[in-house]
A = this chain, B = another copy of it.
Amino acid sequence: MSHRIAVIPGDGIGKEVMPEGLRALEAAAARFGIDLSLEHFGFASCDYYVEHGKMLPDDWFVQLKDADAIFYGAVGWPETVPDHVSLWGSLLQFRRRFDQYVNLRPCKLLPGIKSPLADRRPGDIDFYVVRENTEGEYSSVGGKMFEGTDREVVIQETVMTRTGVDRVLKYAYELARSRPRKKLTSATKSNGIAITMPWWDERVAAMSESYPEVSVDKFHIDILTANFVMHPDWFDVVVASNLFGDILSDLGPACTGTIGVAPSANINPEGTFPSLFEPVHGSAPDIYGKGIANPIGQIWSAAMMLEHLGHPEAGQAIVDAFEAVLAEGDKAVLTPDVGGHGTTETLGCAIAERI
């Protein structure tokens, strides 16, 4: 059985790290005898927008819907297309139309990567953020009144549904149950956001009845961000709404020093539609073209993709490989962001060889 992978490099350093992501992917596929069929797409990029006046062709849904997974680089090139246009026209479309309602992001202290936190070592921090990825605060419902006058009022609605919240909570509880510590933390703000958030708390409590083995706690988002910095070792699985998850899944990797290398899985757990795997970092216009972008975010995303496709041992082999290369610390191989003077390619090749 062959897995059909849609490959979309996107913009900026997305185009530079993608070849290394594919190199690792193909190395793991070869080693574990996995049959992949890759299809390359140029859309969902600002280059495409400049040529066609839109981020996606009209039939993008049909073109992509039968893929087993989408392997994405990065999107955004504010010089030619404003971010809210490029993002809402691509990534956020995929997440919604392919119902990728779980965004899963690991926060893990890695060997050879300096954390900005004092006195933390690999092993101390190792948790997942499970983010709701289709609804909530990311809505386009709302509008303006008295526009352009002193009386101007601007309203934006957060929309949560029981279906939407319960299914992501279920995913988070399942994940927590599968891990040794079996611990779930819910991000809330029920003391201030007085309608949606107390209700979120109720759904968390209701779901916990089906998972007696999982211990649950909750923190308001303000103190939770503080605890990511002060007590990152407290966390095992953290579940959050779209916006809170967005924040926590940047902050978590920042605490482990891995924001430039963290991966992100946008998952449709039922497999009705393809899931999407991408690095957390963006297109990084400031370093594009220099060949120094760290490819580990893309490579780690390949590992999550293989795991999702039913090949956890292949995914693990990729993770082991880049952890080993990082731990070795060969400056000629590593990119500048992790203390080396190598290139995207030297690091990508070293990891692929190790696989």
Contacts and interface: CB of A to CB of B under 8 A. Distances in A.
A153 B199 CA distance: 10
Contacts of A139: 194
Interface residue range, chain A: 35 or more
Q: Copies per complex?
A: 2
A224 to B, nearest CB: 9
Q: Which 6 A-B pairs have the closest CB atoms?
A: A226-B254, A152-B162, A222-B250, A118-B118, A156-B195, A156-B196
Interface string A126-155: 000000000001111011100001111111
B144 A154 contact: no
B152 A161 contact: yes
Given A155-B159, A189-B246, 12 more contacts: A88-B194, A138-B194, A139-B194, A142-B157, A142-B196, A154-B161, A155-B195, A156-B195, A189-B243, A223-B250, A225-B247, A226-B254
A84 B190 contact: yes
B226 A225 contact: no
Interface string A73-107: 00000000001100110001000000000000000
A332 interface: no
Q: Which of A117, A139, A158, A192 has most B Cβ within 10 Å? A: A192
A29 interface: no
B229 A138 contact: no
Interface string A229-247: 1100000000000110011
